[in-house]
Amino acid sequence: MENKRAAVLVAGSWGTALATVLADNGCDVAIWTRRAEQADEINRHHTNSKYLPDVRLHERIRAVTDMDEALNGAGIVVFAATSASIREVARKASGGIPRDAYVVHAVKGFERDSLKRISTVISEEIRRPEETIAVLSGPSHAEEVVRRCPTTVVAASQSKEAAEAVQDYFMNAHFRVYTNPDVIGVEVAGAIKNIIALGAGLSDGLGYGDNAKAALITRGLAEIGRLGQAMGAQLLTFAGLAGVGDLVVTCTSRHSRNWRAGSLLAKGMSLDEVLAAMNMAVEGIGTTRAAYELSRRYGVPMPITEQLHAVLFDGKPPKAAVEALMGRVRTHESEEVAKAWLEA
């Protein structure tokens, strides 16, 4: 790591947590926010109370509202916006990213209308080859990362140099980073696990217990793998940190917004009421719509996603959705094994 200046866009919980890791590693971090009052709080009090209450931030983290100021001289640029706003943020940043800066995103979702992966969106806006962009993903709640709890993630890029540079910038005694060339797999896993976490919260909210949640997680992983393979991912990726690791933590942790949103839906709240109560982005909601469309584009069966789509957007009662899943026509656990039997 030669250039120890970093830019993080934006100052939400995950962006702030990643800024903390970079600052711990000796970087001077400029974190960009649209809100002057948030920048003032971070700079004066070293806190970001809306997103990470009761946490004191590293003094190497400096908040700015001017995008060019945030990007000036940066050796690494980290996009940590929501999937709904990532194109706008990337467009705003496009003219100011230093030519030799590494670009990495930590966004878990798809663009809603185009159904594009986030690295594709960023590539289009900053006019850089997609293969040079890295993605950081894995089981990593911001609330634990910022408190320096042991965490392990994956830096994925088609460029070995970019993946290893991200590894160098972020890796330390409490934040371990592996590299992986399968960008598609890492992005698909990071997006779809939020849908399964909504389902886990819904199941828990209905009081269905651990048996049901274990089944949901396991069959959810099968859905992730089917869509990922259809989009060009490597199946082995889903057995790793970005796949099963992130899926398990998001479906079981008290920090999971998606789990909480599903739990609230199960208690009878409407989608609008849930979003108002959360007061923060719940990526799984938009991703459910996108994945539903992707499953049809690629001809991939995704029954959990289909039922959650019906709950979220068609008014289907949560209990009826679970009954529909349990009442599906009998099938084999492994589609690949079943295919081998039929061909034998």
**Amino acid in position 7:** A
Is 50 considered catalytic here? no
Total Cβ atoms within 10 A of residue 124 = 17
Q: What is the DSSP string of 150-189?
A: -EEEEEE-S-HHHHHHHHHHH-BTTEEEEEES-HHHHHHH
Tokens 């408190």 -> residue: 147
Residue located via tokens 């008014």: 315
**At 127, is the secondary structure helix, strand, or coil?**
coil
Q: Which residues pair with 330 in a beta bridge?
A: none
Sheet holding 61-64, edge to edge: 61-64, 28-32, 5-9, 76-79, 102-105, 134-137, 151-156, 175-180
Spatial CA neighbour of 288 closest among 322, 269, 313: 313
* Distance in angstroms (rounded) separating the CA atoms of residues 223 and 267: 26
Of the candidates 241, 215, 216, the residue with the CA atom closest to the CA atom of residue 140: 241
Four-residue CA torsion sign, 55, 11, 144, 180? negative
Dist. CA 55–CA 26, nearest whole Å: 19
Structure tokens at 341: 């039997």
By 3-state DSSP, what share of the chain in percent is helix, strand and coil, each rounded to 5? Answer: 55, 10, 35
Residue 329's SS3 state is coil
Q: What are 343's two structure tokens?
A: 């061909």
Which of 92, 108, 193, 213 does the annotation list as catalytic? 193
Active site residues: 193
